[in-house]
Chains A and B, each alone.
Chain A
Amino acid sequence: MMKCKYCGGNLTLEQAYCPHCGRPNEEAEQHVRDMEHYKNNFEDTRSDVYEVAEKNTEIMSHTVIITVLVILCVIVFVVATHSWSIRRELLQLDSKIRQGSYVEQMEQYLEDEDYIEFSAFCDRHYIGAYGSDDSYEDYRLLIDASGDYRYIYENLMKAVTTDSNRSDMLYIYYQSIAEYYGRLEQILQPVDNEYMEQQYQELPEDKKEDMEANVKILLQTYFGMTQEEAEDFDTMSNAQKIVFMEEKGEVMGYGKSEK
């Protein structure tokens, strides 16, 4: 409540003119101006606060998006660069889960004396490979031996079918045969030390004989070796084996045929 400065009548701040004398209320004018000023200030501050808050929210949401994208990128690149490891892990898990049926299949291959399919099956399912667990421990020797047998067999086939266009590959095939033959012999006839003998002693005798006999038959047939030469082949060093195969292969005409 205030008084009119002209007539002394009672006034309020909102009354622009005195209701008693009709003269203008100067303080009311000032009050309106002040109110307008405060209102404008308030609106400015409010819009600034909104603007800053809105930007902060945007920054926050952008930060979240960037974080999610970085995580996704990392996941995608890790999966892309580890695809083979992922495959290996999945196959190993699968071979563990289905051990029963896989063992049955492996036994079937062994019964059929099909060491090539046995080895291919183990490779396919990552059974007995480096880094795998011990679920198939009983078969480890057979897996190793059949793998070596398979590589001798395949390289021998490659040597036999090599024509003049690829004659330079013959040395590689002979080298592979010599290397895998040496490895197979170490498994089939372990003489190096007691440890290996103990490791390999459980390999079934009939499988040993079968694989060894097959390799010897193949060498005799496709390298024209006599039985004695095939027996002596065991005692040769890798280099001697390669030279011997080169001599025999030359006689057999490998790498000379035209297609």
Chain B
Amino acid sequence: MVNLKNKRKQIRKQSRALLIMNLVIIALCLALFGGIILMFQELQYAFARPAQTDWLESEVRNEDYAYLVANYHEDKQYGGILSGTRKECYGVAEYFEAAFMYQAFSEAGDTERAAREKEKMDVAYEEMGEWNIAADSIREQLGLD
């Protein structure tokens, strides 16, 4: 009788332990699920390109050319095939940068380097596609004739 009682007690204990363990497993599964989502988000953030196309486009639209150039330099190093809006935004950044330096070299009387920058401006203008309307605002911002 005593043995049977002990056995029942032991089985009850084991059942309780199993219930607790099941709850722990559920909690761990939830934590793991959340952790995996967080991990992928963090990894994606860490390894993603620094500038998304819509950022670049919004910088062109808002005439934030200096920020566009900074993002362009960072993003350009990630390589990849350029097309569509991204390519046009790159064109605007290149145009602004060349115009910025053209203005500086022209005023300093360095005609050789100014001519090189002018060439870059012309090439970039072709790249700008539909965004070539930005060229006027760039020239205006930099005080270029």
A161 B25 Cβ-Cβ under 8 A: no
Which residues does chain A contribute within 8 Å of B4, judged by CB atoms?
Answer: 44, 48
B31 A218 Cβ-Cβ under 8 A: no
Residue count of chain B within 8 Å CB distance of chain A = 48
Q: Considering the chains assembled together, what is the distance between the CA atoms of A73 and B33 in angstroms?
A: 9
Which residues does chain A contribute within 8 Å of B76, judged by CB atoms?
Answer: 117, 120
CB of B95 to closest CB in A, whole Å:
13
B46 A116 Cβ-Cβ under 8 A: no
Q: Considering the chains assembled together, what is the distance between the CA atoms of A164 and B131 in angstroms?
A: 24
A69 B28 Cβ-Cβ under 8 A: yes
Closest to B7 in A: A48
Within 8 A of A (CB), among B85-102: 100
**A31 within 8 Å of B (CB atoms):** no
**A84 within 8 Å of B (CB atoms):** yes
**B115 within 8 Å of A (CB atoms):** no
A124 B36 Cβ-Cβ under 8 A: no
Question: DSSP majority for the A interface?
Answer: helix
**B29 within 8 Å of A (CB atoms):** yes
B107 A221 Cβ-Cβ under 8 A: yes
Q: Considering the chains assembled together, what is the distance between the CA atoms of A63 and B24 in angstroms?
A: 10
Using known A-B contacts A157-B69, A157-B100, A218-B104, determine if residue A52 contacts B10 with beta carbons closer than 8 Å: yes
**A77 within 8 Å of B (CB atoms):** yes
Closest to A90 in B: B47
**A66 within 8 Å of B (CB atoms):** yes
> Pick the contact of B35 from A51, A55, A59, A77 — CB < 8 Å?
A77
B141 A161 Cβ-Cβ under 8 A: yes
Closest to B142 in A: A160
**B21 within 8 Å of A (CB atoms):** yes
**A35 within 8 Å of B (CB atoms):** no
Which residues does chain A contribute within 8 Å of B10, judged by CB atoms?
Answer: 52
CB of B108 to closest CB in A, whole Å:
5
Q: How large is the interface on A (under 10, 10 to 19, 20 to 34, 35 or more residues)?
A: 35 or more
Using known A-B contacts A65-B25, A160-B142, A220-B107, determine if residue A73 contacts B77 with beta carbons closer than 8 Å: no
Which residues does chain B contribute within 8 Å of A66, judged by CB atoms?
Answer: 21, 24-25, 28
Q: Considering the chains assembled together, what is the distance between the CA atoms of A70 and B27 in angstroms?
A: 10
A69 B42 Cβ-Cβ under 8 A: no
Chain B 51-68 interface 0/1 with A at a Cβ cutoff of 8 Å (1 = within): 000000000001111110
**A154 within 8 Å of B (CB atoms):** yes
> Pick the contact of B32 from A73, A83, A123 — CB < 8 Å?
A73
Which residues does chain B contribute within 8 Å of A62, judged by CB atoms?
Answer: 18, 21-22, 25
Chain A 95-139 interface 0/1 with B at a Cβ cutoff of 8 Å (1 = within): 000000000000000000000110011011100000000000000
Q: Considering the chains assembled together, what is the distance between the CA atoms of A80 and B38 in angstroms?
A: 6
A52 B69 Cβ-Cβ under 8 A: no
Which residues does chain B contribute within 8 Å of A160, judged by CB atoms?
Answer: 66, 100, 141-142
**A86 within 8 Å of B (CB atoms):** yes
Using known A-B contacts A87-B46, A220-B107, A221-B104, determine if residue A120 contacts B74 with beta carbons closer than 8 Å: yes
Which residues does chain B contribute within 8 Å of A207, judged by CB atoms?
Answer: none
Using known A-B contacts A55-B14, A55-B18, determine if residue A161 contacts B104 with beta carbons closer than 8 Å: no
Q: Considering the chains assembled together, what is the distance between the CA atoms of A154 and B65 in angstroms?
A: 10
Q: Considering the chains assembled together, what is the distance between the CA atoms of A63 and B35 in angstroms?
A: 21
**B17 within 8 Å of A (CB atoms):** yes
- Of the A-B pairs whose beta carbons lie under 8 Å apart in the complex, a sample of 7, sorted by A's number, is A52-B10, A55-B15, A76-B38, A116-B73, A217-B105, A221-B104, A259-B63
Nearest 7 A/B pairs, CB to CB: A124-B77, A157-B66, A76-B35, A69-B28, A55-B14, A83-B42, A80-B39
Q: Which residues of B contact A (CB under 8 A)?
A: 4, 7, 10-11, 14-15, 17-18, 21-22, 24-25, 28-29, 31-32, 35-36, 38-39, 41-43, 45-47, 62-67, 69-70, 73-74, 76-78, 100, 103-105, 107-108, 110, 141-142
